[in-house]
Amino acid sequence: MGKKTVRFNCTHCGHCCTDVICLPTPWDVMRIVRMTGAEPYKFLKFVLSDEIGEVEDSDPTWLECQGERYLMAVRRGKKGCFFLDKKSRHCSIYEARPILCRLYPFKLNETRKGEFKSFTLHADVGCPKHTDGTVETAPLYELYLDDSRHQKDYEDLVRVFNSRRPKKRKPKDFIKLFHDPR
Ligand code: SF4
Ligand code: SF4
């Protein structure tokens, strides 16, 4: 059954929206487009492997293009995420935000059988991790399961993309595999 709560209080310090590269799945992108009308060619950026150190080489979502490897990310400027409201410093697409944003800074712990055990706070992230609040774990676990299913679809799309070998394939061509602007 696992632990029902995790001690955490988000103080809205803004770290995760300014200093962390946000990596959406294609499902996240489609939800953002559907709920906000935002244009993926404007809010997505494809980051090179040397721009993002914390993702393992073996991660199955690397896009391979002409000898380089890229990850699909939400564009960031000097003041943070594309969707961070410059005045209020709040997420301007809060209801549609990517699942990873919703799960930060929680870390899932499972039993040996792969059953839910608990959520704790990631040790190696910049979140101040205040523990003077209580968060229910059941909705977090639902999000995690949702993200796992989407991750699998994402990997399948990346496999299709990487198996095609047109001479001038560009990372942004990946968007065409799941988003039809018509
Ligand atoms: S999408 Fe919203 S919650 Fe996620 S990093 Fe950007 S501003 Fe923050
Ligand atoms: S880094 Fe932690 S405390 Fe700061 S906004 Fe993100 S989740 Fe909240």
CA distances from 156 to 53, 123, 149 (A): 23, 30, 11
Instruction: Name the band, by pLDDT with cuts 50, 70 and 90, for residue 182.
Output: low
Pocket test for ligand 2, best of 16, 84, 90 (most atoms within 8 A of CB): 16
Q: For the segment 131-147, what is each residue's pLDDT rounded down to a tens digit?
A: 999 999 999 999 999 99
Q: 41 C-alpha vs ligand 2 centroid, how far in Å?
A: 27
Residue position matching structure tokens 């914390």: 54
pTM: 0.90
Q: 43: which residues sit within 8 A by CB, 6+ positions away?
A: 32, 74, 75, 82, 83
The reply to whether ligand 1 has any atom less than 6 angstroms from the CB of 158 is no
- Asked whether the predicted pLDDT for residue 165 surpasses 90, the reply is no
Q: 3 C-alpha vs ligand 1 centroid, how far in Å?
A: 27
Q: For the segment 1-34, what is each residue's pLDDT rounded down to a tens digit?
A: 799 999 999 998 889 999 899 999 999 999 999 9
Residue position matching structure tokens 């949702």: 146
Q: Of all protein residues, whose CA lies closest to atom 8 belonging to ligand 1?
A: 17
The pLDDT of residue 66: 87
Rounded Cα distance between 121 and 174, Å, is: 33
Average pLDDT over residues 21-49: 96
Lowest-confidence region among 11-20, 41-50, 160-169: 160-169
Q: Of all protein residues, whose CA lies closest to atom 6 belonging to ligand 2?
A: 16
Q: 95 C-alpha vs ligand 1 centroid, how far in Å?
A: 10
The reply to whether ligand 1 has any atom less than 6 angstroms from the CB of 81 is yes
